[in-house]
């Protein structure tokens, strides 16, 4: 593996062991009131009846690093389910001291408590420090369970939120976020070789030019001769979300952003032309990173016209989760769920330092509640480089429905174009191991056509066609090819490749 590798009730500061009483506020339609928290634990509310609920804006200032007993939510499906617990990976023998949250019942009163445990890891490997909780349910339900949450000094806030609840006793989580200061300077590349770098989308500087003319090369990937669309098989039909995803042989999805090479928004006609061309190349699905530039409306209508499905996204950037809230509203207002096969909440947001794993987990949970209330029943997830995903899996696995990473083989200097498919397949297996039982996907993968070599990884049109052909043969039915067009607005970045991932012309 190339990159190094690893839920709220009523708060109370803790050093070793602290108890805190659990009380769930009950809002009423159109308005909601509760005691302002002293630390920014997300507000977990059981909405007793269908209706419109308003959660007021709140700001909390933390002056000292504080650990509290918070709460997380997860969706339990019929059958035996597991949640919570703490798993860690170590590279040598060591002793791990870990806080964990539990519920103690005394005289019919439930108390959420933070305790600590010490675990001796005798050698390198993965260890379950705190066991998962296992239960059995007869129907799908939302489970709220305690977890330790640490908050650094700072000001946390959540905006006023108005949501529509359509089910009885539905759980809504309203998380706080800590605004992330804008960096003084932006690095040329989002990646370093030590962290499995991958070419990533940055919505502030949009992409996707009109495809260049096809270069003269003998390496042109040929789509499967069969035009038959087949349903993706599922290893666990009862729990899997793969049944809504269709592929065309080894081809599934291509990433797309509705921008010109200069960074302006493409016209509706230009978007329709691009999407029609992508459909003609054998792809069944488009991955859209964000909602700006009328992406949902234009790309959505174009996909509908061309018979394509969509992976839609919420892009988290420097202003953190609070800056992404409007995209949730945009998606709910748009609401063409029949086109959507997956929602990706955050693209390398943890890796880039735009939010923590626990903040992202809370945001994913609240997004899922909003989307479910609006009629969406498909999978929600996030995506990170593999090493970041391995470190954050403990916080994320309970709130995502499928597990995903961005796998860019070019940034491993020992991987040549001819071995890219084998490498990506091995990395995708590790992605699946991060959250056992969840289907694994590679949501961004490709090869640059221009730039400087990175060891055995050499950019070029021929190499790009060879690498992508190998990736499609190995794991194409679980991979999103990056990207439709070159990103000429980007800085060249490391190895001078950041502008040159467009591959629409090789199909």
Positive or negative: CA dihedral 183, 187, 190, 192: negative
The tokens for 48 are 């007793």
Q: Which of 175, 139, 161, 172 lies closest to 46, judged by CA?
A: 172
Which of 444, 463, 466, 498 is the catalytic position? Answer: 444
Q: Which of 380, 370, 366 lies closest to 174, judged by CA?
A: 366
Question: What crossing angle do the helices spanning 386-396 and 420-434 adopt, rounded to 10°?
Answer: 20
Q: Is 348 a catalytic residue?
A: yes
Q: Which of 497, 465, 498, 471 lies closest to 220, judged by CA?
A: 465
The pairing of beta strand 403-406 with beta strand 440-445: parallel
Residue 480 pairs with which residues in a beta bridge? 253
Residue 409: partners with Cβ closer than 8 Å, 6 or more residues away: 415, 419, 420, 423, 424, 427, 445, 447, 457, 467, 471
First-last CA distance in the chain = 30
Q: Which of 199, 189, 192, 187 lies closest to 503, judged by CA?
A: 199
Q: Which residue has the tokens 């929602």?
A: 343
Distance CA 444, CA 463 (A): 18
The pairing of beta strand 154-158 with beta strand 58-62: antiparallel
Q: Is 444 a catalytic residue?
A: yes
Helices (H), 318-356: 325-334
3-state secondary structure of 340: strand
Say if residue 219 is exposed, middle or buried (CB neighbours under 10 Å; 0-12, 13-18, 19+): middle
Phi, psi (degrees; rounded to nearest 5) at 384: -145, 165
Which of 3, 170, 198, 348 is the catalytic position? Answer: 348
Give the residue numbers marked as catalytic: 348, 444
């Amino acid at each position: 593996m190339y990159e190094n590798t690893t839920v709220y009730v009523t708060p109370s500061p803790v050093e070793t062991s602290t108890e805190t009483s659990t009380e769930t506020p009950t809002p009423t339609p159109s308005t909601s009131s509760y005691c302002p928290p002293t630390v920014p634990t997300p507000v977990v509310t059981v909405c007793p009846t269908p209706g419109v609920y308003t959660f007021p804006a709140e700001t909390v200032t933390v002056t000292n690093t504080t650990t509290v007993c918070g709460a997380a939510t997860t969706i339990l499906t019929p059958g035996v389910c597991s949640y919570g617990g703490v798993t860690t990976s170590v590279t040598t023998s060591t002793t791990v001291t870990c806080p964990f949250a539990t519920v103690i019942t005394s005289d019919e009163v439930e108390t959420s408590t933070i305790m600590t445990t010490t675990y001796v890891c005798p050698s390198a490997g993965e260890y379950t420090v705190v066991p998962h909780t296992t239960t059995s349910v007869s129907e799908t339900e939302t489970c709220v369970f305690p977890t330790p949450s640490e908050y650094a000094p700072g000001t946390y806030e959540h905006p006023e939120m108005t949501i529509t609840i359509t089910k009885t006793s539905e759980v809504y989580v309203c998380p706080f976020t800590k605004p992330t200061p804008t960096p003084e300077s932006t690095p040329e590349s989002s990646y370093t070789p030590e962290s499995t770098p991958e070419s990533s989308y940055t919505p502030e500087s949009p992409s996707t030019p009109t495809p260049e003319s096809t270069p003269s090369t003998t390496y042109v990937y040929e789509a499967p001769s069969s035009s038959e669309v087949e349903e993706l098989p599922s290893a666990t039909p009862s729990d899997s979300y793969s049944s809504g995803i269709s592929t065309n042989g080894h081809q599934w999805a291509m990433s797309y952003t509705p921008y010109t090479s200069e960074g302006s928004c493409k016209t509706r006609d230009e978007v329709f032309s691009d999407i029609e061309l992508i459909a003609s190349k054998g792809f069944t699905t488009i991955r859209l990173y964000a909602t700006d530039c009328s992406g949902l409306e234009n790309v959505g209508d174009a996909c509908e016209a061309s018979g394509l499905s969509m992976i839609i996204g919420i892009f988290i950037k420097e202003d953190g989760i609070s800056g992404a809230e409007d995209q949730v509203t945009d998606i709910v207002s748009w609401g063409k769920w029949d086109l959507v096969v997956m929602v990706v909440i955050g693209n390398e947001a943890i890796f880039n330092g735009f939010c923590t794993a626990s903040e992202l987990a809370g945001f994913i949970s609240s997004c899922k509640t909003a989307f479910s209330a609006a009629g969406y029943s498909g999978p929600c997830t996030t995506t990170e480089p593999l090493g970041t995903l391995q470190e954050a899996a403990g916080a994320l696995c309970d709130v995502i429905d499928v597990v995903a990473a961005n796998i860019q083989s070019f940034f491993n200097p020992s991987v040549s174009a001819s071995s890219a498919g084998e490498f990506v397949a091995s990395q995708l297996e590790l992605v699946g191991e991060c959250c056992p039982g969840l289907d694994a996907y590679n949501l961004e993968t490709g090869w640059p056509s221009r730039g400087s070599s990175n060891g055995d990884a050499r950019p070029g049109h021929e190499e790009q066609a060879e690498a992508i052909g190998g990736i499609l043969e190995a794991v194409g039915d679980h991979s999103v090819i990056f990207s439709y067009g070159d990103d000429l607005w980007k800085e060249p970045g490391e190895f001078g490749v950041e502008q040159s991932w467009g591959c629409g012309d090789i199909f």
